[in-house]
Structure 1
Amino acid sequence: MSGPCITGKARLAGVIGQPVSHSLSPVLHNYWLARHGIDGAYVPLCVAPEAFETAIRGLQAAGFRGANVTIPHKEAAFAIADEVDPMARIAGSVNTLVFREDGTIHGASTDGFGYIASLQVEGVAPPALAARGPALLLGAGGAARSIAVSLLEQGIAVRLANRTAARAAELAASITAAWTKHAGQSGADVTVCSWDSWEEELGGISLLVNTTSLGMEGGPNPAWKPDLSRAGSDLVVSDIVYVPRETPLLRSAAAHGLRTVGGLGMLLHQARPGFRAWFGADVEVDEATVRHVLAALHR
């Protein structure tokens, strides 16, 4: 697919991180630009933490429409935004910046949106999950925080398990405090369980989410395969790792007859709100999109 002719009126956006060479966002956004015939470009921008604010102001001055933000800049993006959406305020981080015509910056956290969308397209309804029991999240990093907040917004209680117990407890306390302050509701239903015993509690869980790098190709433990024998038959197993596309966790879940949701959908769907804001078009994640991104993964 050939891209549109870039003119002096091109709309510009990009992804800022360090490193950024691994990012699939340029592959995805430029595919959508070409597919919709939009005069625009989306570029990777490797920026050191100490240069982040300078880079953002420079992009604004150069006429960029905004940028995605990845590690290690999500908290800095939150700080630089003049206004943030409610979920970003609760999460305490931003992954999507929109530069407005009046010179202000809007910040959003779209990871949670992407995660919920990835469930829905696989036929997993959040209200049904909420009725069956809490979600159990493995890990206590930024992804866990964003996903936990999105699940709470859907009325799903959250349990956290992390190899370092103190981090899980800190995350639970932080989410609860932020939820109470910014969501205008009583304390969030977030609790902690032991990393050593979470497999024993699967019988009462509706959704299991791996937000760690366990099982990732090239990661610290690519063969990780937890024991899912205690899971109820209606447990949904989700992994945000997308390389490989079928992780050991998902393979084990399928062997137990459990419904699975892979990580690629979250990556693709979280990009949609930013594309709409920068380039003015609603896009969909269809099979052609998935095939294009998967081809880039295997180059």
Structure 2
Amino acid sequence: MNTPRKFAVLGNPIKHSLSPRLHALFAQQTGLLIEYSKQCVEPAHFCDHVKQFFASGGSGLNITLPFKEQAYALAQSRISNRARAAGSANTLWQENGEIHACNTDGVGLVNDMLRQHIILRDSRVLLIGAGGATRGVMPALLQAGCAHLHIVNRTEEKAHVLAAQAVALADRQTQVTASAFSTLQGSWDIIVNATASSLSGQILPLADSLFRTDSVAYDMLYTTDGDTPFLQQARNAGATHTSDGLGMLVYQGAESFRIWNQIEPDAAPILTALRTELTRSI
């Protein structure tokens, strides 16, 4: 009898996560036998929890809020170029008794935008937030060739710290700026919410003028009961192209699955199936 490989996603909160169902669909598609659970972890116990998971035979972990920077630190020097550029990690595995890390958030976001024919090259991109989620996608957005990347955050100092890191990664043609919400101006081609505001139902302090009718509003989070508050806010301000982060979840998960199992699943039909399941459950 084959023994299933064990995987999990760690976060706090974690109840909303669809990762177990997502990876079950990947396993079904590829013919692999796996077990995948979601585990809520207290911040003080994160490192011990990860070590215990691998010590007990676990094969791989996805990491979500608020642990991506801790996951990066835990892997020390055994990190991928993507994780190093981001300074955070969302995918962990073990080789020869040592924990390794990668960040698949950026490739997940960009691949989902490509699926939706969202043009990143030469676009003006507003990135909301300065935490691990922002760190994860910032290098990929720069690599995709955006013309201007602006980071906005409640604590302005954190936004400027990330902007300085982005300048080091960006092409010389890319403008990188930062601000607090109170001084945010202009209008943007693409506005990406990389904060956890949608989990708490929080409305962000964004002026309607930041959105145009042809602006893309993208929330990296998703809900299981309809639109996120950020997407509702964007539509009320006139944006006509909105997207939650379900596609990003699927594409970043597909890359994690490939890293762990050396098999690349076909993400597009899995996204369709997952979206259909969510629609039926509402």
State the TM-score, normalized to the length of structure 2: 0.82
1:201 is the counterpart of 2:186: yes
Question: Is the contact made by 1:11 and 1:278 (CA closer than 8 Å) also made in structure 2?
Answer: no
Question: Is the contact made by 2:88 and 2:135 (CA closer than 8 Å) also made in structure 1?
Answer: no
Aligned-residue offset at 1:94: 0.7
| Structure 1 segments unaligned to the other structure (5+ residues) | 1-6
Once the two structures are superposed, what CA deviation does each residue of 1:232-278 show, in whole Å capped at 9, x if it has no partner? 55432222232254345535655736433322211222111111222
Give, in whole Å, the separation in 2 of the partners of 1:57 and 1:230: 44
Give, in whole Å, the separation in 2 of the partners of 1:46 and 1:251: 28
Matched residue count:
275
Aligned-residue offset at 1:31: 2.9
Matches within 5 A, 1:13-28: 13-28=7-22
Q: 1:280 to 1:86 in 2, by over 3 A?
A: closer
Give, in whole Å, the separation in 2 of the partners of 1:253 and 1:54: 40
Q: 1:84 to 1:147 in 2, by over 3 A?
A: same
Aligned-residue offset at 1:68: 0.8
Aligned-residue offset at 1:226: 4.5
What corresponds to 2:111 in structure 1? 117
Question: Is the contact made by 1:11 and 1:279 (CA closer than 8 Å) also made in structure 2?
Answer: no
1:116 counterpart SS class: helix
1:78 counterpart SS class: helix
What corresponds to 2:128 in structure 1? 138
CA RMSD of aligned residues (A): 3.0
Give, in whole Å, the separation in 2 of the partners of 1:234 and 1:17: 34
What corresponds to 1:246 in structure 2? 227
1:41 counterpart SS class: strand
2:243 is aligned with what amino acid? Answer: V
2:38 counterpart SS class: strand
Question: Is the contact made by 1:136 and 1:160 (CA closer than 8 Å) also made in structure 2?
Answer: yes
2:20 counterpart SS class: helix
Structure 1 stretches of 4+ with a deviation exceeding 6 A read 185-188
2:177 counterpart SS class: strand
Give, in whole Å, the separation in 2 of the partners of 1:194 and 1:59: 39
1:282 alignment partner, one of 252, 264, 271 = 264
2:247 alignment partner, one of 265, 276, 284 = 265
1:190 alignment partner, one of 176, 184, 205 = 176
What corresponds to 1:63 in structure 2? 57
Aligned-residue offset at 1:139: 2.1
| Structure 2 segments unaligned to the other structure (5+ residues) | none
Aligned-residue offset at 1:93: 1.1
What corresponds to 2:217 in structure 1? 237
1:41 is the counterpart of 2:38: no
2:142 is aligned with what amino acid? Answer: L
1:163 counterpart SS class: coil
- Kindly name which structure, 1 or 2, has the bigger radius of gyration based on alpha carbons: 1
What corresponds to 1:86 in structure 2? 81
